Amino acid sequence: MPLRRPLRALPALTLVLALTAAPARADADLPFRDPTLPLAQRIDDLLGRLTLDEKISLLHQYQPPIERLGIKSFKTGTEALHGVAWSTDVTDNGAVVTANGTVFPQAVGLASTWDPELIKRVGTAVGEEARGFHAQNPVVWGLNLWAPVVNLLRDPRWGRNEEGYSEDPLLTGAIAIAYGSGIQGDDPDHLRAAPTLKHYLANNNEIRRDTTSSNLPPRVKHEYYEAPFRAAITAGAATGVMTAYNLVNGRPATVNPDLNDTVRTWTDRDLLNVTDAGAPNNLVGSQAYFATLAEADAAALKAGIDSFTTDETNSAPTITAIKTALSQGLLTEQDIDTAVRHILGIRFRLGEFDPDGGPYAKITPDVIDSPAHRRLARETAAKAMVLLKNERGTLPLDPGMKVAVVGPLADVLYTDWYSGRPTYQVTPLDGIRERAASVTSSEGVDRVAFKDLATGRYITAGSGPEGADLRLSATTIGETEQFDVFDWGQGIVTLRSVANGKYVSRANWSTLVNNADQPSGWFVQEQFKLEEQDDGSYLIRYAGYETAYDWFGPNTYVKAAPDGTLTLTTAGDATRFAKEVVRSGIDDAVAKAKEADVAVVVVGSMPFINGREDHDRTDMNLAEGQEALVKAVFNANPRTVVVLENSYPTTINWIDEHVPAILWTTHAGAETGNALADVLYGDVNPAGRLTQTWYRSADDLPDILDYDIVQRDRTYLYFKGTPLYPFGHGLSYTTFRYQGLRVAEKGDAYEVSVRVTNTGHRAGDEVVQVYTHQRTSRVKQPVKQLRAFQRITLAPGQSKTVTFTIRKADLALWDVTRNKWTVETSAHDVMVGASSADIRQRATIHVKGERIPDRDLSVPTRAIDFDGYSGVELVDETKARGDAVAGSTGDWIVFKDVDLKRRPSRVTAGVASTSGGSIELRLGSPKGKLIATVPVAATGDVYRYETAAARVTGASGVKDLYLVFQGDVRIKDLSLTSG
Average pLDDT, integer, range 469-473: 96
Cβ neighbors of 852 (< 8 A, separation 6 or more) are 778, 815, 817, 818, 822, 824
Q: How confident is the model at residue 3 (pLDDT cuts 50, 70, 90)?
A: very low
Output the DSSP codes for 808-866.
Answer: GGGG-EEETTTTEEEPBPEEEEEEEESSSS-EEEEEEEEE--BPPPPB-TTS-EEGGG-
Q: Are 498 and 483 in contact (CB under 8 A)?
A: yes
Cα–Cα nearest to 766, from 810, 724, 736: 736
Q: Give CA 394 to chain center in angstroms.
A: 34
In this predicted model, what pLDDT tens digit does every residue of 681-729 receive, in sequence order? 999 999 999 999 999 999 999 999 999 999 999 999 999 999 999 999 9
**Distances, alpha carbon 181 to alpha carbons 120, 142, 217, 583, in Å:** 6, 18, 31, 52
Phi-psi region of 73 (alpha: psi -120 to 50; beta: other; left: phi over 0): beta
Does residue 117 surpass a pLDDT of 70? yes
pLDDT of residue 543 exceeding 70, the answer is yes
pLDDT tens-digit map of 11-49:
343 444 455 444 445 567 899 999 999 999 999 999 999
Instruction: Please count the other Cβ atoms lying within 10 Å of the Cβ belonging to residue 323.
Output: 15
Give pLDDT, residue 10.
Answer: 33
- Count of CB atoms situated within 10 Å of the CB of 965: 26
E strand map for 691-838: 736-746, 749-758, 764-774, 785-794, 799-807, 813-815, 820-822, 826-833
Distance of CA 801 to the CA centre of its chain: 35
356-401: per-residue pLDDT in tens? 999 999 999 999 999 999 999 999 999 999 999 999 999 999 999 9
Q: Are 102 and 369 in contact (CB under 8 A)?
A: yes
699: exposed, middle or buried (Cβ count in 10 Å: 0-12, 13-18, 19+): exposed
- φ, ψ (nearest 5 deg) of residue 300: -65, -45
The residues facing 275 across adjacent strands are none
Q: Are 818 and 865 in contact (CB under 8 A)?
A: no
Q: H/E/C letters for each residue in 501-562?
A: CCEEECCCCCCCEEEECCCCCCCCCCCEEEEECCCCCEEEEECCHHHHHCCCCCCCEEEECC
The residues, any chain, with a CB within 8 Å of residue 115's CB and separated by 6 or more, are 383, 791
Q: Counting every residue, how long is the chain?
A: 979
* Contact assessment for residue 911 and residue 975, using Cβ atoms and an 8 Å cutoff: no
Instruction: Name the pTM for this structure.
Output: 0.96
- Helix-, strand-, coil-residue percentages of the chain, each rounded to 5: 25, 30, 45
Inter-CA distances, 555 with 57, 157, 542, 571, 729, Å: 45, 29, 9, 8, 47
Give yes or no for a contact between 245 and 279, defined as CB atoms under 8 angstroms apart. yes
Q: What are phi and psi of 453, to 5 degrees?
A: -65, -25
CA distance 763 to 788: 23
Per-residue pLDDT tens digits for 126-151: 999 999 999 999 999 999 999 999 99
CB 724 within 8 A of CB 651: yes
552 — pLDDT class (breaks 50, 70, 90): low
Contact residues for 18 (Cβ-Cβ < 8 A; gap 6+): 64, 65, 73
Average pLDDT, the chain: 95
> What percent of the chain has a predicted confidence (pLDDT) above 90?
94
Confidence of residue 7 (pLDDT cuts 50, 70, 90): very low
Q: Say if residues 486 and 463 touch (Cβ distance below 8 Å).
A: no
Q: How far is CA 442 from the centre of its chain?
A: 33
Chain segment 330-368, per-residue pLDDT in tens: 999 999 999 999 999 999 999 999 999 999 999 999 999
- For residue 785, the model assigns a pLDDT of 98
| pLDDT value at 5 more than 70 | no
In sequence order, the β-bridge partners of residue 758 are 736
Per-residue pLDDT averaged across 513-519, rounded?
96
C-alpha span between 231 and 224 (Å, rounded): 11
pLDDT digits (tens, 9 = 90+) for 230-250: 999 999 999 999 999 999 999
User: Is the pLDDT higher at 9 or at 634?
Assistant: 634
Instruction: Give the number of other Cβ atoms within 10 Å of residue 332's Cβ.
Output: 13
Query: Quick one: pLDDT band at residue 508, thresholds 50, 70, 90?
Result: confident
Residue 79 pLDDT grade (very low, low, confident, very high; cuts 50, 70, 90): very high
Burial of 765 (0-12, 13-18, 19+ CB in 10 A): buried
Q: Which of 545, 653, 563, 641 lies closest to 602 in space, CA to CA?
A: 641
Amino acid occupying residue 68? R
Residue type for 512, please?
Answer: L
pLDDT digits (tens, 9 = 90+) for 586-626: 999 999 999 999 999 999 999 999 999 999 999 999 999 99
CA 29-30-36 angle, 5° bins = 75
The strand pairing partners of 752, in sequence order, are 743, 804
Q: Identify the pLDDT of residue 698.
A: 94
Mean pLDDT of 458-474: 96
pLDDT confidence bin for 551, thresholds 50/70/90: low
Nearest by Cα to 964 from 876, 884, 895, 878? 895
Closest CA to 199 of 60, 6, 343, 2: 2
Residue 428 vs residues 393, 409, 433: alpha-carbon distances, Å: 21, 8, 9
Count of alpha carbons within 13 angstroms of residue 593, beta-carbon side: 28
Q: Per residue in 171-227, pLDDT tens?
A: 999 999 999 999 999 999 999 999 999 999 999 999 999 999 999 999 999 999 999
The whole-number average pLDDT for the span 146-160 is 98
CB 857 within 8 A of CB 976: yes
**8 Å CB contact between 158 and 194:** no
Quick: pLDDT tens for 821-856: 999 999 999 999 999 999 999 999 999 999 999 999
Dist CA 712 CA 703 (whole Å):
10
Residue 510 pLDDT: 82
Neighbours of 547 (CB within 10 A): 18
Taking the alpha carbons at both ends of the chain, their separation in whole angstroms is: 56
Measure the CA–CA gap between 663 and 675, rounded to whole angstroms: 12
CB distance 351 to 92 below 8 Å? no
The answer on pLDDT for 1 being more than 80 is no
CA 292 to chain centre: 31
